[in-house]
Amino acid sequence: MASPVPPATAPQRRDRVVIRFAGDSGDGMQLTGDRFTAEAAAFGNDLATLPNYPAEIRAPHGTLAGVSSFQLHFADHDILTPGDRPDVLVAMNPAALRSNLGDLPAGGVLILDTDEFTPRNLAKVGYATSPLDDGSLDPYTVHRVAMTSLTVAALEPLGLGKKDAERSKNMFALGLLSWMYSRPTEGTQRWLREKFARRPEIAEANVVAFRTGHAYGETTEAFAVTYEVAPAVLPDGTYRQVSGNTALAYGLVAAARRAGLPLFLGSYPITPASDVLHELSRLKRFGVTTFQAEDEIAGIGAALGAAYGGALGVTTTSGPGLALKMEAVGLAVMTELPLLVVDVQRGGPSTGLPTKTEQADLLQAVFGRNGEAPVPVVAPSSPADAFDAAVDAARIALTYRTPVLLLSDGAIANGSEPWRVPEEDDLPDLRVEFATEPNTDDGRFLPYARDPETLARPWAVPGTPGLAHRIGGLEKADGTGDISYDPANHERMVRLRQAKVDGVAVPDLEVDDPDNDAPVLVLGWGSTAGPIGAAVRRLRTAGHRVARAHLRHLVPLPANTEAVLRSYRTVVVPEMNLGQLAFLLQGRFAVPVESETKVAGLPFGAAELAERLTPYVSKEQVPA
Amino acid sequence: MTTDLGMPSLDATQLGGLDLVPAADSPQKAKDYTSDQEVRWCPGCGDYAVLAAVRAFLPTLSIRRENTVFVSGIGCSSRFPYYLDTYGMHSIHGRAPAIATGLAVSRPDLSVFVVTGDGDALSIGGNHLIHALRRNVNMTILLFNNRIYGLTKGQYSPTSEVGKVTKSTPVGSVDHPFDPVALALGADATFVGRAMDSDRKGLSAVLEAAARHRGAALVEIYQDCPIFNDGSFDVLRRPDDAEARVIPVRHGEPITFGTDGRWAVVRRGFGLDVAPTAEVAPEDVVVHDATDVGLAHALARLSGQDLGHAVFGVIRQVQRPTYDDLSRAQVQQAAAGGPADLRELVHGADTWTVRGGTVITEARP
């Protein structure tokens, strides 16, 4: 079946391509997708990714429950989302085909590992007849490739066991796709040799499998056409590919460095936040201490203890963990110590959908504590933006001596995109001054005296002579910090803590309204930035006037938020929850807000969101 | 100006608990450790005796007062930090060991104390207690055990005896209690001691040994709640009753007790028992060895919920590297590898550059 004839035609140009790799959760689909992403990044494409995998580490082999997929959108221009529907679907078994085929448009390219289409595997997922033979795949451009047996045959000279050899089939698929899309191959081969440096035979097997897949494409007539996607011309700068969790970890390190403080992370492993713990645990050379605590509460407790001692204290978690931490967040509110609380949101309630994304912790972050316990809330809008959001959250925590909630989500955490890497000198100066001397005329130290501008209290760390004082969760007397049950004092302190958070300096909300005449504003927060941006582009291309804005700061809201809301006839808020930001805005400003929501564990698609926004813009477009 | 948080290098196994804490410039008195806050425990509360003992023993440590920190949870005893003129945090229920862990790991120059009670440490905060002990974080934990919930007005606690009638157990508690010493030993604590609130001398000695111990030290303090559990330890206080019950132990010494040492601790099966000294051959009297974990477990089991016997003193003390020393050593070792380059970190292995509309891909060096 292989032909020695190379493709006669030159590669065809594509401006963008969406590829989805789908297979069993043991098939290495995330790794394959990650590696193709790295190739695309190294080539200079713009890109966005969407990993989608089950919570089970190894669900029963070949079942629908065990399907893991990785979608990658890469382009020669700036793109905003991982793509709605794949142009190419690689299905490593019948389960992957069954659960993903519905997303492949007619005419889409389908690449199948025919070896896995055995009667047993077909029966497992309820195929009565094999889709390879029953004509059900006729609407697609199907490539039937015996990936497993081709890989095993190619690896035979290496003397590997059959199981080990079969494991390399994902690299065969990567090699084939790399050939189809004219990707450079040196990077992947080098990467494989480094990754498996300690097991050279496995490294070699993967390199051979990768090359075999590449050669298979080159020499098989069925793949006569190759494509290329040119590099994307983004704004000037140096770029790398980065995931949200990595960018967030780097942002924490950068913030600690700009503050001149050691970084202390207290954390308990939880999906999808654990990678921040993993990343930071490897960065000890930056003065980073990571403490894997016995539970979520100990994680934040230790972080608060470290903050009391003068470190930049951080705790990372996801929704259920945040619920457990909230009493300690309240203690940080009361003791007015700087603390970063990172919530990488996932589907809820309860254990919910650990590996899927959602934005349903917003109200928990804003309100989920006993008493009046205001906490600034900051949300990154994309994987790369998680770096800047982390630095900004640290700025607020350190400047105002307050816990700050940083709300990432699963799509940001595991998704990746190009990141224009910052220079250290361009980052804000976050240096803090610890209190070193008494702060009253008569030589006393008042731990709750306040900076008149920020309302922050002094940060007097243990070990400072003359400033010994006691703090705690009981209500503090204004100034002295002594225990106080005085009604007037409580009233004053509750209002002071609120005023401090209300007064946190945040930039105005920027509105993207090209002709300043749009009747409709689409307002989002967090990871919906990409889909909203892409949907608004589509609407504008279709001739609609539509404005958009995105909130980085949820608490406090930018000072111009109400004015912006009131300057549009219609405000639509798309969210991956049942309308939490919409609820917040309506409650706060008593303005009508239209809510467009999705809670499927998956981000909005660009086309899907454009369609849902169309009625609003169409209605407004009717001449008055 | 900022405070130097420098982390000195160290050999963890050679150090005492206070060796990295700056020494006081001049002698201190109990009064120096007394804050301006009015003490608000009930009259007759055992906490007063403990507070007096702590104020008196702290100066003997000869460390700088500002490098002493008391962290507490919630409960009557957790008000303790307010009454000491040191740094202190009155935190939330059960979490003091977790907060103290973060503080101790970040600040080797501090002497960190945790003040907690039987409810705070063993019920809501049980998890943090056992993990702080097994990790061996350098902190001294004072566990005030009055076998009752006082601050919530008289419910049974995890150390209350079975059958105890309280507000929440009108026909008697059916909960089996913890023995805090046995629990700490089970968590592999490197220092476990016990003292009685009214025994100023014994309490001070155990507290000082605990503070000087490098690692997590747990000191259980039997303490009376005169309001909700009055006289709960009377059998250990009244000389006639105490005679055959109170067993003081000292490392290296034979364990005998009672007037003229009339009772002795002897081995029986895999455990220990008490026998009249006169009936025991001298070589059969158990000699206390605080490094013998098997002996420590057996001693703990001599103390029952009926207080038939109660062992006091340093029950276990061994050296094991502390979590905080090891954690800091890892950070120092990583830092010793050369200056950390943030630029190199954020750039990573593969970058590309866009300049004036052209994409320049860069091969990695």
Q: Is B357 exposed, middle or buried (0-12, 13-18, 19+ CB in 10 A)?
A: exposed
CB contact under 8 A, A432 and B2: yes
CA A527 to CA A506: how far, in whole Å?
A: 19
Confirm or reject contact between A403 and chain B (CB < 8 A).
Answer: no
CB contact under 8 A, A462 and B69: yes
Confirm or reject contact between A47 and chain B (CB < 8 A).
Answer: no
Average pLDDT, stretch A577-597?
98
Q: Are residues A339 and A389 in the same domain?
A: yes
CB contact under 8 A, B95 and A468: no
Task: Assess whether pLDDT exceeds 60 at residue B5.
Answer: no
Cβ pairs A/B, distance under 8 A: 234
- Which A-chain residues 150-209 have CB contacts (< 8 A) with chain B? 187
Q: Which of A308, A429, A485 to mutate to test the interface with B (most CBs of B within 10 A)?
A: A308
CA A44 to CA A228: how far, in whole Å?
A: 12
CATH of the domain at A593: 3.40.50.920
* CB-CB neighbours of B254 under 10 Å: 18
CA B138 to CA B144: how far, in whole Å?
A: 19
C-beta pairs of B1-4 under 8 Å, 24+ apart in sequence: B1/A433, B1/A434, B1/A436, B2/A260, B2/A432, B2/A433, B2/A434, B3/A310, B3/A434, B3/A436, B3/A461, B3/A463, B3/A464
Task: Assess whether pLDDT exceeds 60 at residue A562.
Answer: yes
Contact A388, A251 (CB under 8 A): yes
Residues of A with Cβ-Cβ distance to B22 under 8 angstroms: 463
CA A62 to CA A116: how far, in whole Å?
A: 9
CB contact under 8 A, B90 and A331: no
- Which A-chain residues 463-502 have CB contacts (< 8 A) with chain B? 463-474, 482-483
pLDDT band, very low/low/confident/very high, at B14 (cuts 50, 70, 90): confident
Question: Residue A2 has what pLDDT?
Answer: 43
Confirm or reject contact between A370 and chain B (CB < 8 A).
Answer: no
CA A42 to CA A557: how far, in whole Å?
A: 38
Closest-CA residue of B relative to A474 is B90
CB contact under 8 A, B357 and A233: yes
CATH of the domain at A400: 3.40.50.970
| Among A456, A481, A504, residue at a domain's last position | A504
Average pLDDT, stretch A149-170?
92
Q: Are residues A212 and A346 in the same domain?
A: no
Q: What residue type is B321 in one-letter code?
A: P
> What are the CA-CA distances from residue A353 to residues A100, A404, A600, B138 (Å)?
19, 25, 10, 39
Nearest to B98 among A302, A307, A463 (CB): A302
Task: Assess whether pLDDT exceeds 80 at residue A40.
Answer: yes
Question: Residue A56 has what pLDDT?
Answer: 85
CB contact under 8 A, A240 and B131: no
Q: Are residues A448 and A476 in the same domain?
A: yes
CB contact under 8 A, B352 and A41: yes
CB contact under 8 A, A305 and B98: yes
Q: Are residues A458 and A384 in the same domain?
A: no
Task: Give, in degrees to the nearest 5, the angle at Cα A500 between A496 and A504.
Answer: 165
Closest-CA residue of B relative to A43 is B361
Residue B277 φ/ψ, nearest 5 degrees: -55, -35
Q: Tokens for B106?
A: 């970040």
Contact B200, B216 (CB under 8 A): no
The percentage of residues in chain A with a pLDDT greater than 90, rounded to a whole number, is: 90
Q: Residue A4: inside a domain, yes or no?
A: no
Q: Are residues A325 and A361 in the same domain?
A: yes
Residues of B with Cβ-Cβ distance to A423 under 8 angstroms: 343
Nearest C-alpha neighbor of A368 from the set A319, A296, A411, A298: A319
pLDDT band, very low/low/confident/very high, at B8 (cuts 50, 70, 90): very low
Question: Residue B13 has what pLDDT?
Answer: 55
Identify the residue whose tokens are 């005329």: A441
Task: Assess whether pLDDT exceeds 80 at residue A8.
Answer: no
CB contact under 8 A, B345 and A42: no
Nearest to A297 among B37, B98, B355 (CB): B98
Residues of A with Cβ-Cβ distance to B338 under 8 angstroms: 285
CA A172 to CA B301: how far, in whole Å?
A: 64
Q: Are residues A391 and A272 in the same domain?
A: yes
- Beta strand A263-267 with A511-512 is unpaired
Q: Are residues A26 and A68 in the same domain?
A: yes
CB contact under 8 A, A421 and B107: no
Contact B70, B86 (CB under 8 A): yes
Question: Residue A623 has what pLDDT?
Answer: 46
CB contact under 8 A, A241 and B350: yes
The percentage of residues in chain B with a pLDDT greater than 70, rounded to a whole number, is: 95
Question: Residue A527 has what pLDDT?
Answer: 97
If you ran DSSP here, which 8-state letter would residue B254 be given? B
Closest-CA residue of A relative to B86 is A468
Task: Assess whether pLDDT exceeds 80 at residue A39.
Answer: yes
Nearest C-alpha neighbor of A416 from the set A172, A205, A239: A239
Average pLDDT, stretch A227-234?
90
Average pLDDT, stretch A568-582?
98
Q: Are residues A487 and A516 in the same domain?
A: no
Q: Are residues A147 and A199 in the same domain?
A: yes
CB contact under 8 A, B331 and A289: yes
Residues of B with Cβ-Cβ distance to A311 under 8 angstroms: 5, 102, 106
pLDDT band, very low/low/confident/very high, at B358 (cuts 50, 70, 90): confident
Closest-CA residue of B relative to A423 is B343
Confirm or reject contact between A581 and chain B (CB < 8 A).
Answer: no
CB contact under 8 A, A254 and B346: yes
Residues of A with Cβ-Cβ distance to B3 under 8 angstroms: 310, 434, 436, 461, 463-464
Identify the residue whose tokens are 């974990």: B293
CB contact under 8 A, A301 and B91: yes
Tell me the shortest Cα–Cα distance from B74 to chain A, in angstroms: 9
CB contact under 8 A, A237 and B64: no
CA A116 to CA A119: how far, in whole Å?
A: 9
Question: Residue A224 has what pLDDT?
Answer: 73
Confirm or reject contact between A309 and chain B (CB < 8 A).
Answer: yes
Task: Assess whether pLDDT exceeds 60 at residue A412.
Answer: yes
* CB-CB neighbours of A78 under 10 Å: 14
Looking at chain A, the number of H-run helices and the number of E-run strands are 20, 23
Confirm or reject contact between A256 and chain B (CB < 8 A).
Answer: no
Confirm or reject contact between A363 and chain B (CB < 8 A).
Answer: no
CA A224 to CA A222: how far, in whole Å?
A: 6
Q: Where in chain B is the domain with CATH 3.40.50.970?
A: 1-232+322-365
If you ran DSSP here, which 8-state letter would residue B306 be given? T
pLDDT, tens digit (0-9, with 9 covering 90-100), for B294-352: 999 999 999 888 999 999 999 999 999 999 999 999 999 999 988 899 999 999 988 88
Q: Tokens for B182?
A: 């046995």
Distance from chain centroid for Cα B8: 25
CB contact under 8 A, A262 and B106: yes
Q: Are residues A378 and A490 in the same domain?
A: no
Q: Residue A282: inside a domain, yes or no?
A: yes
Q: Are residues A66 and A135 in the same domain?
A: yes
| Among A167, A194, A228, residue at a domain's last position | A228
CA A541 to CA A552: how far, in whole Å?
A: 26
Interhelix angle A200-219/A169-180, rounded to 10 degrees, is: 40
Among A25-34, A184-193, A246-255, the range with the most confident prediction by mean pLDDT is A246-255
Tell me the shortest Cα–Cα distance from A621 to chain B, in angstroms: 37
Q: Are residues A71 and A124 in the same domain?
A: yes
Confirm or reject contact between A43 and chain B (CB < 8 A).
Answer: yes
Task: Assess whether pLDDT exceeds 80 at residue A624.
Answer: no
CB contact under 8 A, B331 and A287: yes
Nearest C-alpha neighbor of A176 from the set A163, A188, A193: A188
As a 3-state breakdown, chain A gives helix, strand, coil percent values, each rounded to 5, of: 40, 20, 40
3-state SS record for A134-187? CCCCCCCEEEEECHHHHHHHHHHHHCCCHHHHHHCHHHHHHHHHHHHCCCCCHH
Q: Which of B34, B66, B352, B364 to mutate to test the interface with A (most CBs of A within 10 A)?
A: B352
Q: Residue A7, SS3?
A: coil
Nearest to A38 among B91, B100, B350 (CB): B350
> What are the CA-CA distances from residue A205 to residues A127, A217, B190, B222 (Å)?
33, 19, 50, 66
CB contact under 8 A, B102 and A436: no
CB contact under 8 A, A432 and B343: no
| Among A504, A531, A551, residue at a domain's last position | A504
Residues of A with Cβ-Cβ distance to B358 under 8 angstroms: 233
Nearest to A473 among B2, B91, B347 (CB): B91
Q: Tokens for A329?
A: 């967040």
Residues of A with Cβ-Cβ distance to B356 under 8 angstroms: 236
CB contact under 8 A, B103 and A239: no
Residues of B with Cβ-Cβ distance to A313 under 8 angstroms: 102
Average pLDDT, stretch A42-69?
90
CB contact under 8 A, A301 and B358: no
Question: Residue B338 has what pLDDT?
Answer: 82
CB contact under 8 A, B90 and A471: yes
A503-528 burial, b at 16+ Cβ within 10 Å, e below that, comes to ebebeebebebeeeebbbbbbbbbbb
Closest-CA residue of B relative to A464 is B66
pLDDT, tens digit (0-9, with 9 covering 90-100), for A466-501: 999 999 999 999 999 999 999 999 999 999 999 999
CB contact under 8 A, A308 and B99: yes
Domain of residue A314, residue span: 240-426
> What are the CA-CA distances from residue B45 to residues A34, A178, B33, B210, B222 (Å)?
64, 77, 20, 23, 12
pLDDT band, very low/low/confident/very high, at B362 (cuts 50, 70, 90): low
CB contact under 8 A, A309 and B106: yes
Question: Residue B222 has what pLDDT?
Answer: 97
Q: Tokens for A250?
A: 């780097």
Average pLDDT, stretch A190-205?
93
Question: Residue A9 has what pLDDT?
Answer: 64
Q: CATH says B1-232+322-365 is which class?
A: alpha beta
Judged by average pLDDT, the poorest of A81-90, A155-164, A426-435, B59-68 is A155-164
Q: Residue A6: inside a domain, yes or no?
A: no
pLDDT, tens digit (0-9, with 9 covering 90-100), for B247-261: 999 999 999 999 999
